[in-house]
Amino acid sequence: MSTVALHTHGCKLNQAETEALARQLWAEGYRVVSPTQPAQAYVLNTCTVTATADAKARRWLRRAARLHPEALVVATGCYAQRQPEVLSHLPGVGLVAGQGDKPHLSEVLRERGLRPGGGGADSPPLRTRALVKVQDGCSIGCRYCIVPSVRGRGRCRSPAEVVAEVSQRAAEGYQEVVLTGTHIGSYRWDGTELPGLLAQVLAATQVPRLRLTSLLPADLTPHLLSLWRTTGEGRLCPHFHLPLQSGSGDVLEGMGRPYSPARYRRAVALAQEAVPGMTITTDVMAGFPGEGEAEFAESLAFCREMGFARMHVFPYSPRPGTPAAAMPQVDSPTVARRTRRLLAEAALASRRFEASQVGQVVPVLWEKEVTPGVWAGLAPRYMRAFAPSAKPLAGLITPARLERPAPEGLWARIV
């Protein structure tokens, strides 16, 4: 039986596709393991959203080839789609498979001599929270973004497919399912939009906890938010990831983002009014072309005003072929300085949010043992909790009292 190791860089959608590949390979008789284990093939599902992501992929592939010279090293995913010639010339990389080849990777592995066995292998290493893809691609056309070039325009799975997969994950014992895509707020299928899809999943499945990935301000409609008060009460996580990118109206316009700071502010207020205690996390970019000191100050002030629970901060990275790559660029030292300031603000925001949660008792889905006797898990508001337990907790939801700050979340006590 051939053994295949899988690893993922990038977004939740990439993670969902890697999990789907793991299930497919396992069902066909391959043994699927983590990349820390011996294998006949090492597969990296790449990201290409920034130059940093590209460099990270190249390092991983070189290291895999160096450590496992007899194995087949495979690059797939977005970077493999965008620049297959670059990855194919890396020493030791034996196969580059673009986005279209990803679903058929098992066939390609068989062509390369990796044969599945007769079954009976251990189940593949999967996350405690199941990721279900509902949509792929994007039709917005932000001027900095390479995603439409590597994933194409938006397209969706049918509600029946999504409901069936969520039902299967619930039957397997998953306590939380994350609905993911490039832009799930654009979901459309024969008259069904995202609120209708979510309502069908809630009505037709028994999964205890549902979470949505990234949305845009226009996606936070009264219809969608009403589900948190009605059919989804207690099952829909009170957390939205709402990418901001910049708090400057001029910069947002230059980016081609479909909202203004005022529209973003109204969406957050609507969500927090409809669902008291709703947590908002975000992405913020530093150094987009045209961002001067005044625009950066606007962005920083807006982030402080919003009181985000968590901010993912990253420097702008020109992607060849995007309109923004042809614009006059902000110099690298300035981008680095602004990134550091935003990271400092992000750290403060996280600490403020975590401090506000101390003393609460929340249901935590425990994911893994991080050190002997200490478990890490996730609360509905997307807060990391750590608690001691002599008993295995993986995959269980238990009430826990949040007691004091930890380096990456809060220490908790199971009650």
Q: Please compute the mean of the pLDDT values over residues 26-45 and round it to a whole number.
A: 93
SS3 264: helix
pLDDT tens, position by position, 386-406 = 999 999 999 999 999 999 999
Q: Please compute the mean of the pLDDT values over residues 144-154 and round it to a whole number.
A: 93
pLDDT range class, residue 121, cuts 50, 70, 90:
low
Rama region for 172: left / alpha / beta (φ>0; ψ in -120 to 50; rest): alpha
Residue 330, pLDDT > 80, answer yes
pLDDT tens, position by position, 183-242 = 999 999 999 999 999 999 999 999 999 999 999 999 999 999 999 988 877 899 999 999
Tell me the HSE value of 262 on the side-chain side, using a 13 A CA sphere.
Answer: 2
pLDDT range class, residue 122, cuts 50, 70, 90:
low
Residue 120, pLDDT > 60, answer no
Q: Please compute the mean of the pLDDT values over residues 326-339 and round it to a whole number.
A: 97
Name 264's Cβ contacts closer than 8 Å, sequence gap at least 6: 217, 242, 244
- The pLDDT score that the predictor gives to residue 364 is 97
> Encoding tokens for residue 8?
């993922």
- The pLDDT score that the predictor gives to residue 347 is 97
- The pLDDT score that the predictor gives to residue 103 is 82
- The pLDDT score that the predictor gives to residue 306 is 97
Q: Chain-centre distance of CA 291, in angstroms?
A: 27
Q: Please compute the mean of the pLDDT values over residues 104-121 and round it to a whole number.
A: 81
State the chain's mean pLDDT as an integer.
95
d(CA 340, CA 239): 26
pLDDT tens, position by position, 229-271 = 888 778 999 999 999 999 999 999 999 999 999 999 999 999 9
pLDDT range class, residue 178, cuts 50, 70, 90:
very high
Q: Please compute the mean of the pLDDT values over residues 366-391 and round it to a whole number.
A: 96
- The sign of the torsion formed by the CA atoms of 132, 135, 140, 146 equals positive
Strands of the 3-8 sheet, one edge to the other: 31-33, 3-8, 41-46, 72-77, 93-97
pLDDT range class, residue 118, cuts 50, 70, 90:
low
Residue 7, pLDDT > 90, answer yes
Give the residue from 28, 2, 342, 285 showing the smallest Cα distance to 143. Answer: 285
Give the rounded percent of residues in the chain with a pLDDT score beyond 70. 99
Which residue would you say has higher pLDDT here, 85 or 126? 85
- The pLDDT score that the predictor gives to residue 119 is 56
Q: Chain-centre distance of CA 268, in angstroms?
A: 20
> Encoding tokens for residue 381?
């508001």
> Encoding tokens for residue 208?
């205890």
What b-and-e string marks burial along 126-137, b requiring 16 or more CB atoms within 10 Å of the CB? bbbbbbbbbbbb
Residue 123, pLDDT > 90, answer no
Residue 380, pLDDT > 70, answer yes
**C-alpha angle 72/75/79, rounded to 5°?**
170
Q: Angle formed by the axes of helices 194-204 and 159-171, to 10°?
A: 40
Q: Please compute the mean of the pLDDT values over residues 286-295 and round it to a whole number.
A: 98
Extended beta strands in 181-232, E state: 188-189, 192-193, 209-212
